[in-house]
Amino acid sequence: MSSISEFAPVATAETPKRSRPVSGVAAIETTDLWRIYHLGSLEVAALQGVNLRIEQGSFVALKGRSGSGKTTLLNCIGGLDKPSKGQIRILGEEIGGWSERKLTEWRRMQVGFIFQSFGLMPSLSAYENVELILRISGVKGKERHKRSVEALDLVGLTPWMDHRPFEMSGGQQQRVAIARSLVNQPKLILADEPTGELDSNTAKEILGLFQSIVRERNMTFLMVTHDSLVDEFVDEVLLLRDGQVASKLDAEEEAVEQ
């Protein structure tokens, strides 16, 4: 049996910012990725040939104006949406050819999702919200308890374990959602505007928490965001523009414009 604490070596003061595994395989790699939506006779090309490479163990922000394709890209990478054309490799494996069943299993075991609206079950306590994920994954009782308690502890919510979402602040609810995304010890976390509904102080706390989780557990974390606060927390900022990843220079220009 494994536990969260066995998941990856714990960081020390000397731990480099990115402890990259030696394998050299990217966590996420897309090649000429297209997603075209058909609305009657209208075609909307949300992704228009996205090429990107995200290294294992990195914390990456994906920015871009509203409608630039951020959510579409995140959903394709997480196997929630299917690209119209192109390839997605996760840890070297092409997910395009996988069956629905294999994708679902992979998502359940290897990917943590965090959304802007938290997505918690209102009638369940913080603990039960986290534990539910392990129930769905078929983890046995004792192990479920141990991992749920550990995940809630990691996000600083031990005293709030028995509280339901409506008894918690937005920041606390997002912490529950983070604990829930971590409890399965995923290799990859995908977050869509996770600080969108938080005030700037709380957003900073949450970003700091993400940063320390990525460093300590060597997960790969891709976060869609509008938030200008993120730059100091992440390893890299990618900019989507017109359905493509813009060059670094364009990204800097756009940052100046905003």
Ligand X SMILES: Nc1ncnc2c1ncn2[C@@H]1O[C@H](COP(=O)(O)OP(=O)(O)O)[C@@H](O)[C@H]1O
Neighbours of 214 (CB within 10 A): 25
Give just the sign of the alpha carbon dihedral 38, 42, 46, 48. Answer: positive
Please, what is the minimum distance in Å from the beta carbon of residue 70 to Mg ion?
5
With contact defined as beta carbons under 8 Å apart, do 168 and 126 qualify? yes
Shortest reach from residue 35's CB to Mg ion, in Å: 13
What is the smallest separation between the CB atom of 80 and Mg ion, expressed in angstroms? 13
Burial class (CB in 10 A: 0-12, 13-18, 19+), 180: buried
82 binds ligand X (CB under 6 A): no
Maximum C-alpha span of the chain: 58
Residue among 10, 44, 121, 136 that touches ligand X (CB under 6 A): 44
Q: Which residue is nearest to Mg ion (CB)?
A: 71
- Which of ligand X, Mg ion, none does 67 bind, CB closer than 5 to 8 A by kind? ligand X
Burial of 130 per CB tally in 10 Å (0-12, 13-18, 19+): buried
- Provide, rounded to whole angstroms, the least separation between the CB of residue 228 and ligand X: 16
The count of C-alpha atoms lying within 13 angstroms of the C-alpha of 257, restricted to the half-sphere facing its C-beta, is: 8
The interface region with ligand X, picked from 24-32, 37-45, 144-152, 215-223 by CB under 6 A, is 37-45
Nearer to Mg ion, 73 or 207 (CB): 73
Piece of 60-68, 110-118, 161-169, 181-189 that binds ligand X (CB under 6 A): 60-68
Q: Could you say whether residue 62 binds ligand X (CB under 6 A)?
A: no
233 in Cβ contact with 208 (< 8 Å): yes
- Report the residue from 3, 37, 109, 253 that binds ligand X according to the rule CB under 6 A: 37
DSSP-derived 3-state class of residue 48:
strand
Sign of the torsion angle spanned by Cα atoms 140, 190, 226, 201: positive
78 interacts with, out of Mg ion, ligand X, none, CB within 5 to 8 A per kind: none
Distance between CA 22 and CA 246 in Å, rounded? 28
The C-alpha atoms of residue 111 and residue 103 are separated, in whole angstroms, by 10
Residues 180-209, mask of contacts with ligand X (x by CB under 6 A): ------------------------------
Residue with smaller CB distance to Mg ion, 70 or 217: 70
Q: Rule CB under 6 A: say whether 46 interacts with ligand X.
A: yes
Contact residue for ligand X among 1, 39, 249, 256 (CB under 6 A): 39
| Cβ atoms 133, 113 nearer than 8 A | no
Chosen from ligand X, Mg ion, none, partner binding at 46 (C-beta under 5 to 8 Å by type): ligand X
Decide: is 69 part of the binding site for ligand X (CB under 6 A): yes
Nearest approach in angstroms of CB 240 to ligand X is: 6
**Residue-level length of the chain:** 258
Token duo for residue 148 = 């749920």
Query: What are the residues binding ligand X (CB under 6 A)?
Result: 37, 39, 44, 46, 64, 66-72
